[in-house]
């Protein structure tokens, strides 16, 4: 291995794995290192999707989190760097067979399962409460989601390929929720967020990648002297299209119900097949919340989050769910009058019109990602006059 990495502390934990802050031993450069234990085929399939999507984006867009390298843990004290353009065959085989390969020798000394990998010096501690690398979408228990199941007959450490490690760029500004909600209202900054994220999603869709879990938690912030750079991250639920239909993704259909409740499109809520336009709806929810600083606290959590919604009595209903129940529901954009001061300048007429289109209950009425990028620029320019 050309570069060795040192783990400093844990900065995020979820159902699928753990993210650490680390450094490249030779250069001292700070990186984020995601540890994904290979427990069962369903987990592994998600890992391979994330790896493939991140490799496809490589370091080609400033608003997409960059993958530096990936490594496969093949034993208690061995890491194998993965070659570019190649998927680990052992993990692919596990997905195809529906079972995880067993390593007989690894069961001889179960106590060694907790040992740190020698080539990753483990100096970890507990994650901070405001971790910018949250891996688990917080979802109310009322709706089932496609989740990897953990099998009781498979023990950690008894696998031939025990874990996948992803080494990524480190973002020091936290996630979008933490960054924006910890700062004063800034219309210019909000416009920058909207422009950068629309550019990122246009880039992904042009590569045939549908994120399927766009939300503020999955946007990380890199603070630079010239200003913050917002980066789409966490491709665990992403899907890569094998080919465009009629030259775009709006004809390519997917069926797995996944995402986070407050950002899911109506067609996903309804269990219908959906296209890349579901990402556009998720961005619409985020953009509305960013431009008007609309927040909520999801049931069972204490963290304030950016997100638009519909009030139904004492309850907050996700926009997608409300539009699935009533496709003719009239949204109030802007809704400045509903909230207490201080308030940001409400979006102008052109941006309001764009938000209405992004949040349409009909996916075909939403702009494509390419159209969105150009319309965001023109709407902000028009409203500035």
Q: Known catalytic residue: 213?
A: yes
The answer on 332 and 274 residing in a single domain is yes
Predicted pLDDT at 106: 40
Predicted pLDDT at 242: 62
Measured over the CA atoms of residue 94, residue 95, residue 97 and residue 99, the dihedral's sign is: positive
The enclosing H or E element of 291 equals: helix 277-292
> Which runs of consecutive H residues, i.e. helices, occur in 106-186?
176-181
The answer on 146 and 252 residing in a single domain is no
Domain extent, residue 208, equals 176-384
Per-residue pLDDT of the chain (385 residues; tens, 9 = 90+): 345 788 889 988 877 789 999 999 888 999 999 999 887 888 888 888 888 889 888 778 999 999 998 888 877 767 888 877 777 777 888 777 777 655 444 443 433 333 434 345 544 444 454 555 544 333 444 444 444 444 433 344 444 678 889 999 999 999 999 999 999 889 999 999 999 999 999 999 999 999 999 999 999 999 999 999 999 999 989 988 765 544 455 567 888 888 899 999 999 999 999 999 999 999 999 999 999 999 998 777 888 999 999 988 888 999 999 999 999 999 988 876 555 667 778 899 999 999 999 999 999 999 999 999 999 999 999 999 8
**Quick one: 261 exposed, middle or buried, by C-beta within 10 A (0-12, 13-18, 19+)?**
buried
The answer on 180 and 153 residing in a single domain is no
Predicted pLDDT at 131: 55
120-122 and 5-13 as β-strands: parallel, antiparallel, unpaired? parallel
The CATH number of whichever domain residue 119 belongs to comes to 3.30.200.20
The answer on 45 and 191 residing in a single domain is no
Half-sphere exposure of 40 (CA within 13 A, CB side): 12
Give the span between the Cα atoms of 259 and 241, in whole angstroms. 17
> Which runs of consecutive H residues, i.e. helices, occur in 166-222?
176-181, 187-206
Cα–Cα distance list, 101 to 40, 116, 280, 361 (Å): 10, 22, 39, 45
Give the span between the Cα atoms of 381 and 385, in whole angstroms. 7
The answer on 205 and 335 residing in a single domain is yes
The answer on 210 and 161 residing in a single domain is no
Q: Which residue has the tokens 């902000």?
A: 380
The answer on 124 and 97 residing in a single domain is yes
**Quick one: 315 exposed, middle or buried, by C-beta within 10 A (0-12, 13-18, 19+)?**
exposed
Half-sphere exposure of 113 (CA within 13 A, CB side): 17
Q: Which of 103, 122, 172, 213 is catalytic?
A: 213
Predicted pLDDT at 56: 86
CB pairs under 8 A, 24+ apart, for 77-80? 77/115, 77/117, 77/118, 77/119, 78/117, 78/119, 79/1, 79/117, 79/119, 79/120, 79/165
Give the span between the Cα atoms of 80 and 165, in whole angstroms. 10
127, 152, 169: which is the final residue of a domain? 169
Q: Which residue has the tokens 């990028």?
A: 373
Predicted pLDDT at 95: 78
The CATH number of whichever domain residue 311 belongs to comes to 1.10.510.10
Structure-derived torsion over alpha carbons of residues 208, 212, 217, 219, reported in degrees to the nearest 10: 10
Give the span between the Cα atoms of 18 and 15, in whole angstroms. 9
Residue-by-residue DSSP string for 338-373: GSPSS-PPPP-HHHHHHHHHHT-SSGGGSPPHHHHH
3-state DSSP call for residue 367? coil
Q: Which parts of 51-160 are beta strand (E)?
A: 67-75, 78-81, 120-122
135, 169, 203: which is the final residue of a domain? 169
The answer on 361 and 342 residing in a single domain is yes
154, 169, 184: which is the final residue of a domain? 169
The answer on 201 and 220 residing in a single domain is yes
The answer on 278 and 140 residing in a single domain is no
The answer on 79 and 25 residing in a single domain is yes
Counting the structural domains of the chain, the total is 2
Predicted pLDDT at 268: 96
The answer on 257 and 141 residing in a single domain is no
What is the chain's Cα-based Rg?
21
3-state DSSP call for residue 372? helix
Cα–Cα distance list, 264 to 135, 158, 281, 311, 314 (Å): 17, 37, 7, 17, 21
Give the distance from CA 168 to its chain's centroid. Answer: 14
pTM for this one?
Answer: 0.81
Predicted pLDDT at 115: 40
Predicted pLDDT at 151: 42
Name which of 380, 254, 233, 261 is nearest 319 in CA terms: 261
């Amino acid at each position: 291995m050309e570069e060795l990495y040192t783990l400093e502390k844990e900065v995020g934990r979820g159902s699928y794995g753990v993210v650490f802050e680390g450094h490249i031993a030779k250069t001292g450069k700070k990186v984020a290192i995601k540890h994904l234990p290979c427990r069962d085929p369903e987990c592994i399939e998600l890992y391979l999707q994330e790896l493939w999507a991140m490799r496809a984006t490589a370091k080609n867009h400033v608003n997409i989190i960059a993958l530096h390298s990936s490594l496969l843990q093949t034993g208690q004290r061995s890491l194998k760097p993965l070659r570019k353009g190649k998927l680990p065959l052992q993990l692919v085989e596990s997905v195809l067979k529906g079972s995880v390969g067993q390593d007989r020798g690894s069961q001889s000394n179960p106590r060694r399962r907790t040992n740190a990998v020698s080539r990753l010096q483990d100096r970890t501690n507990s994650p901070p409460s405001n971790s910018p690398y949250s891996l688990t979408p917080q979802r109310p228990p009322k709706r089932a989601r496609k989740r990897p199941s953990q099998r009781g007959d498979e023990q950690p450490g008894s696998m031939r390929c025990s874990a996948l490690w992803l080494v990524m760029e480190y973002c020091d500004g936290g996630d979008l929720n933490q960054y924006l909600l910890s700062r004063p209202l800034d219309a210019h900054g909000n416009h920058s967020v909207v422009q950068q994220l629309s550019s990122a999603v246009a880039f992904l869709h042009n590569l045939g990648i549908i994120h399927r879990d766009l939300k503020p938690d999955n946007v990380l912030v890199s603070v630079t002297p010239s200003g913050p750079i917002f980066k789409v991250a966490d491709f665990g639920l992403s899907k890569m299209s094998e080919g465009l239909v009629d030259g775009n993704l709006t004809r390519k259909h997917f069926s797995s119900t996944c995402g986070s409740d407050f950002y899911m499109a109506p067609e996903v809520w309804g269990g219908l097949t959906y296209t890349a336009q579901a990402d556009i709806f998720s961005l619409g929810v985020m953009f509305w919340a960013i431009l008007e600083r609309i927040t909520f606290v999801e049931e069972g959590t204490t963290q304030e989050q950016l997100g638009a919604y519909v009030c139904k009595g004492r309850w907050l209903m996700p926009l997608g769910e409300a539009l699935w129940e009533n496709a003719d529901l009239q949204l109030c954009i802007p809704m400045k009058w509903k909230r207490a001061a201080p308030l940001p300048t409400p979006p102008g007429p052109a941006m309001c019109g764009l938000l209405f289109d992004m949040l349409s209950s009909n996916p075909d009425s939403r702009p494509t990602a390419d159209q969105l990028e150009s319309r965001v620029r023109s709407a902000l320019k028009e409203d500035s006059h």
